[in-house]
Amino acid sequence: MTLDTVKHATETPDVEQPWAELGLKKDEYERIREILGRRPTGAELAMYSVMWSEHCSYKSSKVHLKQFGEKAPENDALLVGIGENAGVVDVGQGYAVTFKVESHNHPSYIEPYQGAATGVGGIVRDILAMGARPVAVVDPLRFGAADHPDTKRVLPGVVAGIGGYGNCLGLPNIGGEVVFDSCYQGNPLVNAGCIGVMRHEDIHLAKASGPGNKVILYGARTGGDGIGGVSVLASETFDDTKPTKRPAVQVGDPFQEKLLIECTLEIFKEKLVAGIQDLGGAGLSCATSELASAGTGGMRVELETVPLRDASLSPEEILMSESQERMCAIVEPQHVDRFMEICEKWDVIATVIGEVTDGERLEIFWHGEQIVDVPPGTVAHEGPTYHRPYARPAWQDALQADDANKLPRPQSSEELREQVLKLVAHPNQASKAWITDQYDRFVQGNTVLAQPEDSGMIRIDADTNLGVAIATDGNGRYAKLDPYTGAQLALAESYRNVAASGAKPLAISDCLNFGSPEDPAVMWQFAEATRGLADGCQKLGTPVTGGNVSLYNQTGEVAIHPTPVVAVLGVIDDVNRRTPIAFAEEGQLLYLLGDTREEFGGSAWSEVVHGHLGGLPPAVDLDREKLLGEILIAASRDGMIDAAHDLSDGGLIQAVTESCLRGNNGARLIVPDGLDAFTFLFSESAGRAVVAVPRSEELRFTDMCGARGLPATRIGVIDGNTIDIQGQFTIPLDELRHAHEATIPGLLA
């Protein structure tokens, strides 16, 4: 077969090329020809196809994502924002923290273990590439119906993949969530996040500058796994008639990644790199084009020097491979020998594959023949921009008119008690310990809060006890009812969870999971959710530092619920002042903060008791959320509360149940004046939390709330071994514990 060189491509303009099979549209292919002034070579076509994919280029979403920059609030803590591998924030004392959430949804459905494992590996390398030591991971997950046979295939594999990879790296898994809904049956959402810590001066960026500097590929050898992962697998809808695409799923080796981490951190310590990029989605195509595009010159690569696991790989396959555990560094010539010594010490393969040039082109050669000659920016950053049509779906009004507030409510105390037990035993509200116990949450010894706490928290300085907290939240049911409000509710809940633990929210990362952008209804959901999130972040003062968009999450014509997942990062000066959720001290007083209204649209109660989704989600008051956060942080810092738990899915009774079981203490609750028992227990009004106040602090705490204008209602006391709703019913903790803890093992063990 004739090698498809640049010269050959110029001489054979009419050769048929498989642009459609690689996920390109006809007009995109024509645009590539226009850019190059000729047809692309096979290698160039491979590069454009992966880099212009939905997953890499954000071609359907970037017109909406630009709001995150346009509406970004002023925030002195933000050091690196959108556009790099991950955002970076200043957390004080000379420390910077980088964090990000990404998706590995489609691969995890096809091959649950490897899909989830490599999702963890990829996000860890994004954090590493910023110059930081990864210190913790989180995993927001969504699966189909808990009792569906395929969930028993997907969920255990995903959990084993996350645990297996993260545990081998020695990274504690400190947070996340698990949600079940039939809408995710063919499209589970496997979102993974990572936090890394560094000093300010250690921040690294992905750029290739300095003619003569060497391009070094180091880490694992390149294999045939992951080819077409982002251009095909992650950028189209699933169809039950299509074959399984196993070759497109990457294969991970956590032990190789651990060596890569330690090797890279030592290289950073000796300041040996001028630029660095991990190889994740789109592999070498991404690393070379992005490094060259962000730099001040061009790049020349000798592709045959790439170490291979499979000698039969073609140049196109080498460029498209998404083999894991690989990094690409730009190194000044005088540092190359020392760079190689460190790699050899850590048993990491390292190869000079090219150098930075003083030109403006990315040039790739194969055994002396030129197979790529492109302007790197057109590959990395100038992909197509689509203004997809979007329209509010015709069914939206009817969905919102189907008011959950009008559903039949319990007519007796006995029925109310039965519904409480049914709620806490539902897979979405039940204990996830069967899942989280498979993760090492305390490795490295710096975890101070982890599941099932409101947020995970890590100590980052042993001398001062400076720490950071992270929470991830999202509610697809709310977003289906109203995507604008649903996105803000996700932001508000994550913000509230961080504040409830005593940390000050600083910034966010997001993972926006939606159906096909070619459906105007889905694009309307996306546009509304993005607008809601941008407006919400502006109001709360929490800039978006980066994140991920995952589209085409649908099977045939059936899309998932719009599911914006929001990760909020916060800082706490002293982790010893953290606030857990456990009701640990008998006699302490329980206060409900915020206003409770009849708000049941999208609620856990409406789902569990009636199998219903309709109406409007709870209203959002971001000024109230900010005030609540300030009160929770101040009360934690000043020792006024010993426990706090945000109120969200399942309302007050769910939060109280979790706090009682966590502390192994019961509670006596009194329904406040003006509320009926049902609304008191099950409402999902936002902007609320329940706190445990020592009696000695009651006056100080209530004075603070009164002075700041935050409603604080005394609703009971920590006492006994039951949850007693006075005048209604009593449930022993043992009965609650069985209901809460038996569900997931019963379904999945």
**Active-site residues: which are they?**
55, 104
Structural contact between residues 124 and 139, judged by C-beta atoms closer than 8 angstroms: no
| 250 dihedral zone (left: phi>0; alpha: psi -120 to 50; beta) | beta
Distance CA 146, CA 141 (A): 13
Closest CA to 316 of 240, 425, 239, 231: 231
Structural contact between residues 419 and 410, judged by C-beta atoms closer than 8 angstroms: yes
70: its two tokens? 């346009």
Structural contact between residues 428 and 604, judged by C-beta atoms closer than 8 angstroms: yes
Place of tokens 């990062």: 569
The set of residues, in sequence order, having a beta carbon less than 8 Å from that of 620 and lying 6+ positions away, is 485, 488, 489, 492, 536, 686, 687
Helix axes 520-540, 483-500, angle to 10 degrees: 40
- The three-point CA angle 272-375-54 to 5° equals 90
Structural contact between residues 362 and 289, judged by C-beta atoms closer than 8 angstroms: yes
Distance CA 731, CA 418 (A): 10
Structural contact between residues 309 and 226, judged by C-beta atoms closer than 8 angstroms: no
Q: How buried is 109 (Cβ within 10 angstroms: 0-12 exposed, 13-18 middle, 19+ buried)?
A: buried
330: its two tokens? 């730009």
Q: Which residues pair with 176 in a beta bridge?
A: 139
Distance CA 692, CA 585 (A): 9
Structural contact between residues 573 and 619, judged by C-beta atoms closer than 8 angstroms: no
Q: Could you write out the DSSP letters of every residue in 88-152?
A: EEEEETTEEEEEEEEE-HHHHHHSHHHHHHHHHHHHHHHHHHTTPEEEEEEEEEEES-TTSTTHH
65: its two tokens? 């994502």
Distance CA 444, CA 182 (A): 37
The DSSP letter of residue 244 is P
Place of tokens 């460029």: 319
Distance CA 564, CA 513 (A): 6
Sign of CA dihedral 97, 103, 104, 109: positive
Closest CA to 214 of 286, 268, 291: 291
- The three-point CA angle 562-566-571 to 5° equals 175
Closest CA to 321 of 233, 230, 218, 222: 222
| 674 dihedral zone (left: phi>0; alpha: psi -120 to 50; beta) | left
